[in-house]
Amino acid sequence: MKKFLLIPDSFKGTMSSTQICSIMEEAILRYYPDAEVVSIPVADGGEGSVDSFLTAMGGEKVNLTVTGPYFKPVDAFYGILPGNTAIVEMAASAGLPLVGDDKRPDQTTTYGVGELILDAVKRGCKKIIVGLGGSSTNDAGAGAAAAAGVVFKNAAGESFVPTGGTLSEIASIDTSKRDPLLHDVEIVTMCDIDNPLYGEHGAAYIFGPQKGADDQMVKRLDSELRAFSEVVIKDLKQDISQLPGAGAAGGMGGGMVAFFDAHLEMGIEVVLDTVKFNELLTDADMVFTGEGKLDSQSLRGKVVMGIAGRTKRKGVPLVAVVGDIGDPIEGAYDGGVSAIFSINRVAKEFKHVIARAPEDLARTMDNLMRFLHLLQF
């Protein structure tokens, strides 16, 4: 009996990882009806991460009301996986969809993210995976820290909850009142970018515009992050300014390290470790992965190449089925990818054939499985 592992990334704006897994599985079982097919929808930390983890591993979805981006109640959620591990996606309480067209990253907060983390800890979770992605904030995670008990005071000695536009008002940071339940909890942050906290490649300049910041606000937000960094150095004895990934999610990457002692890790590595991918590989015959477009950017890591590194070490074939193929991608083969196939059957730019992507994926997988079956794989 053959064993296939399916672990594709989503085709952004086209097909979810779960949908891709379903299409792949149907094609495989058509030719190998007795095969064991293990589907692992990929979660990159952004919207949909909780559902992807729960689909892959099972568990419980917890719904609760927390503080939203503008300090008003919102309905949010997180997941509890087997083994007392919680998966929190910050987008559930601080995401761009929650602010709609009212984008003001100088005023939004991550306070609700801290509330989600605390709720999971109070339910007995000993490991928290926090996905950074799709945020509407630029508060460096100060809101989440405040929810966890960290005290921020201004020059007048008054405590307050900083936002992206008031970080420079922080005169002191006191972590002594941080909830003690967090002391024995491992917190891992999924972060797929390496941007520093501030500067031309930092949180404000790179990600501020998509959150509604104009040029003037971008400069202001960057200045706020610089001031924040200095207080963190003074009171917490940590310099997170140039930490790779500190600029993720409006500086929350840095804040998770400074306030929650979190580890910043590549999203795909967190996924692979959490689902025990190495163990699943032990008796696997083939792995299928994929993404919307495989190009030179893909070779820098992330989903396909993260998986390839592990399949290569185990000697298991890895086939990438993608929406489109860019140049140059030869390095993918050196990295462990066995073969790459595009579902683009009509030789047009993928953006022009997105509507037919599910059908094209099904046909491409059928062709692949037909060929493998012919070879008596």
Please state the domain extents for the chain. 3-40+284-374, 49-267
Burial 129-156 (b: 16+ CB within 10 A, else e): bbbbbbbbbbbbbbbbbbbbbbebeeee
What is the CA 310 to chain-centroid distance, rounded? 19
Residue 43's pLDDT is: 76
Average pLDDT over residues 282-299: 89
> Average pLDDT of 313-337?
92
User: Which CATH architecture best describes the domain 49-267?
Assistant: Alpha-Beta Complex (3.90)
Name the least confident of 123-137, 149-163, 290-304, 330-344: 290-304
Which pLDDT belongs to residue 166? 98
Q: Quick: pLDDT tens for 228-250.
A: 999 999 999 999 999 999 999 99
The pLDDT of residue 353 is above 70:
yes
In this structure, what are the phi and psi dihedrals at residue 129, rounded to the nearest 5 degrees?
A: -105, 120
Asked whether residue 301 carries a pLDDT value surpassing 70, the answer given is no
4 Cβ contact partners less than 8 Å away, ≥ 6 residues apart: 28, 32, 35, 36, 37, 38, 284, 285, 286, 287, 288
Over residues 218-227, mean pLDDT: 98
Q: Mean pLDDT, to the nearest integer, of 8-26? A: 91
pLDDT confidence of residue 326: 85
Tell me the pLDDT tens digit for each residue of 88-140: 999 999 999 999 999 999 999 999 999 999 999 999 999 999 999 889 999 99
Q: Which helix (H) or strand (E) holds 74?
A: strand 73-81
Superfamily of domain 3-40+284-374 in the CATH hierarchy? Glycerate kinase; domain 1 (3.40.50.10350)
Report residue 59: phi and psi, to 5°: 135, -160
**Average per-residue pLDDT for the chain:** 94
Token pair of 104 as six digits: 């003001």
Average pLDDT rounded to a whole number, residues 247-263: 97
pLDDT at 305 over 80: yes
**Which pLDDT does position 77 carry in this prediction?**
98
- Which two structure tokens, joined as six digits, stand for 342? 């595009």
For position 13, what pLDDT does the model report? 75
The pLDDT of residue 63 is 98
Mean pLDDT of 60-73: 98
pLDDT at position 173 is: 98
Buried b vs exposed e over 277-292: b needs ≥16 C-beta within 10 Å?
A: beebbeebbbbbbbbb
